[in-house]
Amino acid sequence: MEQGRVAVVVGGASGIGAAIATAFESDGWRVVVADLPATDVTDEDSVAAMLDGVVASHGRLDVVVNSAGVSTLGNVVDLAVDEWRRVVDVCLTGAFIVTKQAGLRLSAGGAIISLSSLNARQPGAGLAPYCASKAGLSMLTQVAALELAPRGIRVNAIAPGLVVTPLTQPAMDIPGIEDDYLENTPLGRSGRPDEIASAALYLATAEWVTGEVLDINGGAHLMRYPDLHKHVLAAFS
C-alpha cells in the first residue's frame, strides 16, 4: 500500500469506529478520529471545518469513514416526532452531510465508507427511524457512487448484523434479545468489531468496487429480525 494515505473515521471514539481506526493505523495509514463533542455530523459547518483541518494538516484526504449512529425504541404510533428526527438527523442526514463534505475534498481515487445495518434490509418492530435511516443510507450510497465516479471516488457501505458494542450493549442486557439474534443468525454467533474493520479496510483499497452495501451478518439476512420490542415489554412490564 502507498504510504502516507490519510483516513478520517467519524464516530471513531468507540465500538466499531474505534476498531476501524485501529485497523487503518495498523495498516500504515495516518488516521484522524472525529467524534463528539468536536465534530457533530448533524452540523454541516462542524463537519466541513473538521475536514478542512485534516487537509490543512496532512495535505490530502484519501478515505472518510462515517460510523456515527444512534437509535431508539418505540412503536410508530407512540414515537415522538422529535425522537424520530434525532435518529434520522444522525443516521441519515448526518451521513449525507459527511458524504457531501467528503466528496468535495477527497483526493482522486479516494473512498467514502458508511456504516449501515442489517436494518437496511430487515424491518425491526420499534425501530422505525433507525430502519428507515439505514434503508435510505443504502440508496444514498448508490446515488453518491454514481455521481462521484467520474472523479474516481468510490462510495460504499457496510451493513453489520449483531456486533456487541457500547451502542448495542444496553439491548443485549435485556433477557432474550441476544438469544433471539443468535437463533436467527445461521453462523450462530455475533460479529466482532475487528471483522467489520477488516471490511472497511478492504473497501478503502478495492479500486473496482463502488455502490456496494456489504452485508456482514453471519447470514442473518437470510432469516428474520428479532422482535426487540416484545423482549423489552416482557422485561419491563
Q: Which residues are tagged catalytic?
A: 130
Cell numbers linked to 119: 436494518
The C-alpha atoms of residue 193 and residue 9 are separated, in whole angstroms, by 14
First-last CA distance in the chain: 55
Distance CA 72, CA 127 (A): 7
> Is 168 strand, coil or helix?
coil
The answer to whether 90 and 132 are in contact (CB under 8 A) is no
Neighbours of 152 (CB within 10 A): 14
Residues 177, 183, 186, 192, CA torsion sign: positive
Please state, in angstroms and rounded to a whole number, the distance separating the CA atoms of residues 194 and 16: 7
For residue 22, count CB atoms less than 10 angstroms from its CB and return exposed for 0-12, middle for 13-18, buried for 19 or more.
middle
Q: Taking the CB of residue 183, how many other CB atoms lie within 10 A of it?
A: 11
